[in-house]
Amino acid sequence: MSVLINKDSKVIVQGFTGSEGTFHAQQMIDYGTNVVGGVTPGKGGTEHLGKPVFNTVKEAVEKTGADTSIIFVPPAFAADAIKEAAEGGIKTIIAITEGIPVADMVKVMDYVADKDTRLIGPNCPGVITPGEAKVGIMPGFVFKKGNIGLVSKSGTLTYEAADQIAKQGLGITTAIGIGGDPIIGTTTKEAVEMFMNDPETEAIVMIGEIGGNLEAEAAKYIKETGNKKPVVAFIAGQTAPKGRTMGHAGAIVGGKDDTAQAKMRILKEHGIHVVESPAEIGKKVAEVLGK
Protein backbone atom coordinates (compact mmCIF):
# COMPACT_ATOMS: atom_id res chain seq x y z
CA MET A 1 0.00 0.00 0.00
CA SER A 2 0.96 3.64 0.36
CA VAL A 3 -0.06 6.59 2.48
CA LEU A 4 -1.54 9.93 1.41
CA ILE A 5 -1.19 9.50 -2.36
CA ASN A 6 -1.29 6.71 -4.95
CA LYS A 7 -1.95 6.12 -8.63
CA ASP A 8 -5.65 6.89 -8.13
CA SER A 9 -5.12 10.28 -6.48
CA LYS A 10 -6.69 13.10 -8.50
CA VAL A 11 -4.35 16.07 -8.23
CA ILE A 12 -4.87 19.75 -8.93
CA VAL A 13 -2.17 22.42 -8.94
CA GLN A 14 -2.88 25.77 -7.27
CA GLY A 15 -0.76 28.40 -8.96
CA PHE A 16 -0.91 26.18 -12.06
CA THR A 17 0.05 28.72 -14.72
CA GLY A 18 2.92 30.40 -12.84
CA SER A 19 6.52 29.49 -13.62
CA GLU A 20 7.01 27.16 -10.62
CA GLY A 21 3.59 25.58 -10.99
CA THR A 22 4.13 25.02 -14.72
CA PHE A 23 7.57 23.47 -14.36
CA HIS A 24 6.74 21.09 -11.53
CA ALA A 25 3.28 20.20 -12.83
CA GLN A 26 4.89 19.06 -16.08
CA GLN A 27 7.41 17.00 -14.09
CA MET A 28 4.57 15.42 -12.12
CA ILE A 29 2.62 14.64 -15.29
CA ASP A 30 5.73 13.12 -16.89
CA TYR A 31 6.19 10.93 -13.81
CA GLY A 32 2.68 9.55 -14.30
CA THR A 33 0.87 11.48 -11.58
CA ASN A 34 -2.85 11.83 -12.26
CA VAL A 35 -2.95 15.64 -12.58
CA VAL A 36 -6.54 16.49 -13.48
CA GLY A 37 -6.25 20.27 -13.72
CA GLY A 38 -5.18 23.42 -11.99
CA VAL A 39 -6.37 26.63 -10.40
CA THR A 40 -5.41 30.19 -11.40
CA PRO A 41 -7.98 32.88 -10.59
CA GLY A 42 -9.01 34.76 -13.70
CA LYS A 43 -7.86 32.05 -16.09
CA GLY A 44 -10.74 29.64 -15.64
CA GLY A 45 -12.01 28.03 -18.84
CA THR A 46 -8.58 27.94 -20.45
CA GLU A 47 -6.21 25.01 -20.83
CA HIS A 48 -2.61 24.62 -19.61
CA LEU A 49 -0.27 21.68 -20.19
CA GLY A 50 -3.23 19.92 -21.76
CA LYS A 51 -5.25 20.19 -18.54
CA PRO A 52 -8.24 22.42 -17.67
CA VAL A 53 -7.74 25.59 -15.61
CA PHE A 54 -10.34 26.65 -13.04
CA ASN A 55 -10.93 29.90 -11.17
CA THR A 56 -11.53 28.21 -7.81
CA VAL A 57 -10.69 24.98 -6.02
CA LYS A 58 -14.39 24.34 -5.42
CA GLU A 59 -15.05 24.42 -9.16
CA ALA A 60 -12.05 22.17 -9.83
CA VAL A 61 -13.28 19.61 -7.29
CA GLU A 62 -16.81 19.68 -8.71
CA LYS A 63 -15.61 19.22 -12.30
CA THR A 64 -12.75 16.74 -11.80
CA GLY A 65 -13.35 14.98 -8.48
CA ALA A 66 -9.92 16.15 -7.28
CA ASP A 67 -8.92 14.96 -3.81
CA THR A 68 -5.33 16.25 -3.64
CA SER A 69 -3.87 19.70 -4.19
CA ILE A 70 -0.32 20.98 -4.46
CA ILE A 71 0.25 24.67 -3.79
CA PHE A 72 2.71 26.83 -5.73
CA VAL A 73 1.27 30.15 -4.63
CA PRO A 74 3.48 33.11 -3.50
CA PRO A 75 3.92 33.43 0.30
CA ALA A 76 1.58 36.41 0.68
CA PHE A 77 -1.34 34.46 -0.80
CA ALA A 78 -0.45 30.88 0.17
CA ALA A 79 -2.41 30.83 3.45
CA ASP A 80 -5.59 31.77 1.61
CA ALA A 81 -4.84 29.09 -0.98
CA ILE A 82 -4.56 26.46 1.77
CA LYS A 83 -7.84 27.61 3.31
CA GLU A 84 -9.53 27.54 -0.10
CA ALA A 85 -8.35 23.99 -0.69
CA ALA A 86 -9.66 22.86 2.70
CA GLU A 87 -12.98 24.62 2.15
CA GLY A 88 -13.24 23.21 -1.38
CA GLY A 89 -13.17 19.59 -0.22
CA ILE A 90 -9.52 18.63 -0.86
CA LYS A 91 -8.46 15.73 1.38
CA THR A 92 -4.66 16.09 1.06
CA ILE A 93 -3.13 19.55 0.73
CA ILE A 94 0.60 19.74 -0.03
CA ALA A 95 1.99 23.25 0.42
CA ILE A 96 5.36 23.70 -1.26
CA THR A 97 5.55 27.47 -0.72
CA GLU A 98 8.45 28.74 1.37
CA GLY A 99 8.30 31.89 3.48
CA ILE A 100 4.65 31.91 4.58
CA PRO A 101 4.46 34.25 7.61
CA VAL A 102 4.14 32.42 10.93
CA ALA A 103 1.11 34.54 11.85
CA ASP A 104 -0.61 33.35 8.67
CA MET A 105 0.14 29.70 9.49
CA VAL A 106 -1.31 30.08 12.98
CA LYS A 107 -4.60 31.15 11.38
CA VAL A 108 -4.38 28.34 8.80
CA MET A 109 -3.92 25.65 11.45
CA ASP A 110 -6.92 26.98 13.37
CA TYR A 111 -8.97 27.04 10.16
CA VAL A 112 -8.19 23.50 9.01
CA ALA A 113 -8.49 21.95 12.48
CA ASP A 114 -12.15 21.01 12.02
CA LYS A 115 -11.92 20.25 8.28
CA ASP A 116 -11.68 16.77 6.80
CA THR A 117 -8.26 17.38 5.31
CA ARG A 118 -4.57 16.75 5.93
CA LEU A 119 -2.00 19.47 5.34
CA ILE A 120 1.60 18.60 4.43
CA GLY A 121 4.08 21.47 4.72
CA PRO A 122 4.53 24.31 4.04
CA ASN A 123 8.12 24.76 2.89
CA CYS A 124 8.41 21.10 1.99
CA PRO A 125 9.40 18.96 -1.04
CA GLY A 126 6.06 17.16 -1.10
CA VAL A 127 5.06 13.50 -1.13
CA ILE A 128 5.98 10.64 -3.45
CA THR A 129 4.74 7.07 -3.74
CA PRO A 130 7.32 5.61 -6.13
CA GLY A 131 5.96 4.31 -9.42
CA GLU A 132 2.50 5.75 -8.71
CA ALA A 133 2.41 9.45 -7.94
CA LYS A 134 4.76 12.35 -7.29
CA VAL A 135 3.09 15.38 -5.75
CA GLY A 136 6.05 17.63 -5.10
CA ILE A 137 9.38 18.89 -6.36
CA MET A 138 11.59 15.88 -5.65
CA PRO A 139 13.60 14.12 -8.41
CA GLY A 140 11.41 11.10 -9.07
CA PHE A 141 14.16 8.87 -10.47
CA VAL A 142 15.87 8.66 -7.06
CA PHE A 143 12.94 6.83 -5.46
CA LYS A 144 12.46 3.09 -5.92
CA LYS A 145 9.36 1.14 -4.87
CA GLY A 146 9.76 -0.88 -1.69
CA ASN A 147 8.70 -1.33 1.92
CA ILE A 148 10.39 1.55 3.78
CA GLY A 149 8.37 4.56 4.95
CA LEU A 150 10.34 7.82 4.91
CA VAL A 151 9.50 11.01 6.82
CA SER A 152 11.83 13.99 6.75
CA LYS A 153 12.05 17.67 7.66
CA SER A 154 14.71 18.16 4.97
CA GLY A 155 14.13 17.94 1.23
CA THR A 156 17.75 17.25 0.30
CA LEU A 157 18.13 14.59 2.99
CA THR A 158 14.92 12.95 1.78
CA TYR A 159 16.56 12.40 -1.60
CA GLU A 160 19.83 11.28 -0.02
CA ALA A 161 18.07 8.75 2.22
CA ALA A 162 16.03 7.38 -0.70
CA ASP A 163 19.24 6.94 -2.72
CA GLN A 164 21.00 5.22 0.18
CA ILE A 165 18.05 2.86 0.61
CA ALA A 166 17.95 2.06 -3.13
CA LYS A 167 21.67 1.24 -3.11
CA GLN A 168 20.90 -1.50 -0.58
CA GLY A 169 18.41 -3.05 -2.99
CA LEU A 170 15.49 -1.70 -0.96
CA GLY A 171 12.83 0.91 -1.70
CA ILE A 172 10.16 3.26 -0.42
CA THR A 173 6.44 2.82 0.18
CA THR A 174 5.88 6.58 0.47
CA ALA A 175 8.23 9.45 1.27
CA ILE A 176 6.77 12.45 3.11
CA GLY A 177 8.63 15.74 3.31
CA ILE A 178 6.92 17.49 6.21
CA GLY A 179 8.86 20.76 5.97
CA GLY A 180 11.12 22.66 8.34
CA ASP A 181 9.01 25.67 9.33
CA PRO A 182 8.06 26.40 12.96
CA ILE A 183 4.40 25.62 12.22
CA ILE A 184 3.61 22.74 9.87
CA GLY A 185 0.51 20.74 9.14
CA THR A 186 1.55 17.13 9.59
CA THR A 187 4.07 16.35 12.33
CA THR A 188 6.75 13.69 12.46
CA LYS A 189 4.62 11.64 14.87
CA GLU A 190 1.58 11.80 12.59
CA ALA A 191 3.63 10.66 9.59
CA VAL A 192 5.20 7.82 11.61
CA GLU A 193 1.73 6.78 12.78
CA MET A 194 0.54 6.51 9.17
CA PHE A 195 3.47 4.23 8.36
CA MET A 196 2.94 2.15 11.49
CA ASN A 197 -0.62 1.52 10.30
CA ASP A 198 0.38 0.74 6.70
CA PRO A 199 0.67 -3.04 6.26
CA GLU A 200 3.24 -2.81 3.45
CA THR A 201 5.65 -0.58 5.37
CA GLU A 202 8.11 -2.84 7.22
CA ALA A 203 10.49 -0.18 8.57
CA ILE A 204 10.56 3.59 8.92
CA VAL A 205 13.29 6.17 8.31
CA MET A 206 12.87 9.38 10.28
CA ILE A 207 15.02 12.40 9.46
CA GLY A 208 14.88 15.28 11.91
CA GLU A 209 16.89 18.32 12.79
CA ILE A 210 17.65 20.68 15.64
CA GLY A 211 14.83 22.79 17.03
CA GLY A 212 11.42 21.89 18.43
CA ASN A 213 10.20 18.62 19.91
CA LEU A 214 8.65 16.80 16.95
CA GLU A 215 11.18 13.96 17.06
CA ALA A 216 10.75 13.45 20.81
CA GLU A 217 6.96 13.26 20.40
CA ALA A 218 7.40 10.67 17.64
CA ALA A 219 9.83 8.67 19.78
CA LYS A 220 7.37 8.61 22.67
CA TYR A 221 4.61 7.35 20.36
CA ILE A 222 6.89 4.67 18.88
CA LYS A 223 7.79 3.32 22.32
CA GLU A 224 4.20 3.49 23.59
CA THR A 225 3.04 1.37 20.65
CA GLY A 226 5.65 -1.28 21.42
CA ASN A 227 8.28 -0.48 18.76
CA LYS A 228 6.32 -2.74 16.42
CA LYS A 229 8.35 -1.65 13.38
CA PRO A 230 12.05 -0.78 13.37
CA VAL A 231 12.79 2.94 13.02
CA VAL A 232 16.11 4.34 11.78
CA ALA A 233 16.74 8.01 12.51
CA PHE A 234 19.19 10.75 11.62
CA ILE A 235 19.24 14.21 13.20
CA ALA A 236 20.75 17.05 11.16
CA GLY A 237 22.53 20.01 12.74
CA GLN A 238 25.01 18.24 15.00
CA THR A 239 27.52 21.08 14.66
CA ALA A 240 25.01 23.95 14.77
CA PRO A 241 25.76 26.79 17.22
CA LYS A 242 23.14 27.45 19.89
CA GLY A 243 20.62 30.19 19.12
CA ARG A 244 21.26 30.45 15.41
CA THR A 245 18.64 29.55 12.81
CA MET A 246 20.09 27.06 10.35
CA GLY A 247 18.33 27.27 6.98
CA HIS A 248 14.90 26.10 8.11
CA ALA A 249 12.98 28.63 10.16
CA GLY A 250 12.15 25.90 12.67
CA ALA A 251 15.75 24.78 13.06
CA ILE A 252 16.87 26.83 16.00
CA VAL A 253 18.15 25.50 19.31
CA GLY A 254 16.05 27.07 22.03
CA GLY A 255 16.84 24.78 24.96
CA LYS A 256 18.96 21.85 26.05
CA ASP A 257 16.57 19.29 24.53
CA ASP A 258 16.59 21.03 21.12
CA THR A 259 20.18 20.13 20.27
CA ALA A 260 21.01 17.33 17.87
CA GLN A 261 22.90 15.45 20.58
CA ALA A 262 19.96 15.63 23.01
CA LYS A 263 17.52 14.47 20.34
CA MET A 264 19.77 11.57 19.38
CA ARG A 265 19.97 10.51 23.02
CA ILE A 266 16.18 10.69 23.44
CA LEU A 267 15.61 8.63 20.30
CA LYS A 268 18.07 5.96 21.40
CA GLU A 269 16.39 5.77 24.82
CA HIS A 270 13.12 5.01 23.03
CA GLY A 271 14.50 2.09 21.04
CA ILE A 272 15.19 3.90 17.78
CA HIS A 273 18.26 3.06 15.69
CA VAL A 274 20.15 6.37 15.41
CA VAL A 275 22.91 6.88 12.84
CA GLU A 276 25.61 9.55 13.05
CA SER A 277 25.71 10.33 9.32
CA PRO A 278 23.19 10.26 6.45
CA ALA A 279 25.66 8.00 4.63
CA GLU A 280 24.81 5.27 7.16
CA ILE A 281 21.02 5.32 6.67
CA GLY A 282 20.76 2.68 3.95
CA LYS A 283 23.13 0.23 5.61
CA LYS A 284 21.37 0.55 8.96
CA VAL A 285 17.95 -0.04 7.36
CA ALA A 286 19.26 -3.18 5.64
CA GLU A 287 20.80 -4.30 8.94
CA VAL A 288 17.63 -3.92 11.03
CA LEU A 289 15.62 -5.76 8.37
CA GLY A 290 18.19 -8.53 8.21
CA LYS A 291 18.86 -7.94 4.51
Residues 6 or more apart from 39 whose CB is under 8 A from it? Answer: 12, 13, 14, 15, 16, 53, 54, 55, 56, 57, 60, 69
User: Residue 237: is its pLDDT beyond 80?
Assistant: no
Say whether both 147 and 253 belong to one domain. yes
Give the active site residue among 24, 48, 248, 273: 248
DSSP reduced 3-state for 141: helix
Looking at residue 260, its pLDDT comes to 83
Say whether both 202 and 116 belong to one domain. no
Separation of alpha carbons 25 and 132, rounded Å: 15
Q: For 152-207, write each residue's pLDDT tens digit.
A: 998 999 999 999 999 999 999 999 999 989 899 999 999 999 999 999 999 999 99
Active site residue 24: no
Domain limit, last residue, from 85, 120, 155: 120
Domain CATH code at residue 269: 3.40.50.261
Say whether both 176 and 252 belong to one domain. yes
Say whether both 179 and 262 belong to one domain. yes
User: Residue 250: is its pLDDT beyond 90?
Assistant: no
Q: For 76-134, write each residue's pLDDT tens digit.
A: 999 999 999 999 999 999 999 999 999 999 999 999 999 999 999 999 999 999 999 99
How far is the CA of 249 from the CAs of 209, 252, 260, in angstroms? 11, 7, 16
Say whether both 151 and 58 belong to one domain. no
Number of domain units in the chain: 2
Say whether both 27 and 151 belong to one domain. no
The domain of 82 spans: 11-120
pLDDT tier at 251, thresholds 50, 70, 90? very low
User: Residue 212: is its pLDDT beyond 90?
Assistant: no
Distance between alpha carbon 235 and the CA centroid of its chain, in Å? 17
* Amino acid symbol at 102: V
Whether 6 is covered by a domain: the verdict is no
Domain limit, last residue, from 120, 155, 173: 120
Looking at residue 245, its pLDDT comes to 53
Whether 283 is covered by a domain: the verdict is yes
Say whether both 179 and 280 belong to one domain. yes
Indicate left, alpha or beta for 32 from its phi (over 0: left) and psi (-120 to 50: alpha). Answer: left
Residue 221, judged by CB atoms within 10 A of its CB (0-12, 13-18, 19+), counts as middle
Whether 129 is covered by a domain: the verdict is no
User: Residue 282: is its pLDDT beyond 90?
Assistant: yes
Say whether both 104 and 174 belong to one domain. no
Pick from 55-59, 209-213, 219-223: least confident: 209-213
Separation of alpha carbons 179 and 240, rounded Å: 19
